[in-house]
Amino acid sequence: MSAVIEVNALARVFGQNRAVDGMTFHVEQGEVFGLLGPNGAGKTTTVRLLNGILPPSEGTARVFGLDPTTQGEDIRRRTGVLTETPALYERLSARENLEFFATLQAIPASDVSRRVDEILEFFELASRANDKVETFSKGMKQRLALARALIHRPPLLFLDEPTSGLDPEAAQQVNDLIENLTSANGQTVMLATHNLFEAQRLCDRVAIMNKGRILAMGSLKELSRKLWPVTWVDITFHVKPSENVAGSLKAQRGVIQASAEDEALAVQVENEDVIPEVVRHLINNGASILKVNPRDYTLEDIYFALQAGEA
């Protein structure tokens, strides 16, 4: 796959504040890439730099091979942007909003009506197509804003805090739509958010940020292995095993420690490849295993472990 976004040592300085401080990363075609960090981490500034809204103080960026500083208008024709503020025309209907933005994006007049109908249907807004936006809930406005960002079928979508301020049901609806877009259409997305659940659900990889810098970057599995190179596995038995089972495991290659409690055994191993050997050893020693569960770290675990190091 080819990189849609390439960033090298990118920085943006406002007075004494380095809002973006030497960021280097890339985003592949069809990937959902997350910028994850607290408010003020530099996420929104990064999105603006990549869209050519702000010039960089240092470093370089390329979007579709284009320089945002000098070719920002060309980039914006090929991207869609959704922020936490929908910025819709409240006194126009949903249809009129989409028709207006379709015209701005130079969609042929003969295609506008069909394109608007299709996208209203996809975003489950067809029944309210002719209602004024001022009558919409915040969740509906955000869905309409997402529809607007996609009206010209851009190959790259920037989402900046897309569910901020929404109630849980509305946030889930927006995330469902984003997930459908990425799974069905292979949409390339950059998601800037501080919502850990949202990022874990939607992103293939994340860059965790603080004070304009990237603390770590990778998939959930890659970040877990960087932070916790050893693996814990919980093994549950049909019948409580004999007391010497945990002790015998400690002698096995790749086993760091093991402790028994009731009908369960917690085993720390060097990596996941050791787990089948652990299970085989237990079965050979007469254990009746009910289930084997390697412990999964969440993005929340990773995020707070990294941010704690910055405190």
pTM: 0.84
* Dihedral angle sign, alpha carbons of residues 164, 131, 79, 31: positive
Q: Which domains does the chain have, with CATH numbers?
A: 3-224 (3.40.50.300), 230-296 (3.30.70.100)
Q: Name residues of the chain where pLDDT drops below 50.
A: 311
pLDDT of 10: 98
pLDDT of 246: 76
pLDDT of 310: 64
pLDDT of 148: 95
pLDDT of 1: 57
**127-150 pLDDT per residue, tens:** 999 999 999 999 999 999 999 999
Q: Which of 90, 116, 82 is nearest to 101 (CA)?
A: 116
pLDDT of 84: 82
Q: How far is CA 78 from CA 8, 75, 251, in A?
A: 21, 5, 59
**Residue found by looking up tokens 């010039």 in the block:** 55
pLDDT of 220: 92
pLDDT of 11: 98
| Strand-pair category, 264-269 with 255-261 | antiparallel
Q: Is the distance from CB of 302 to CB of 220 less than 8 angstroms?
A: yes
Q: How far is CA 174 from CA 82, 123, 162, 256, in A?
A: 11, 9, 8, 44
**27-78 pLDDT per residue, tens:** 999 999 999 999 999 999 999 999 999 999 999 999 999 999 999 999 999 9
Q: How far is CA 46 from CA 192, 215, 226, in A?
A: 9, 15, 25
Q: Which of 181, 178, 173, 176 is nearest to 191 (CA)?
A: 178
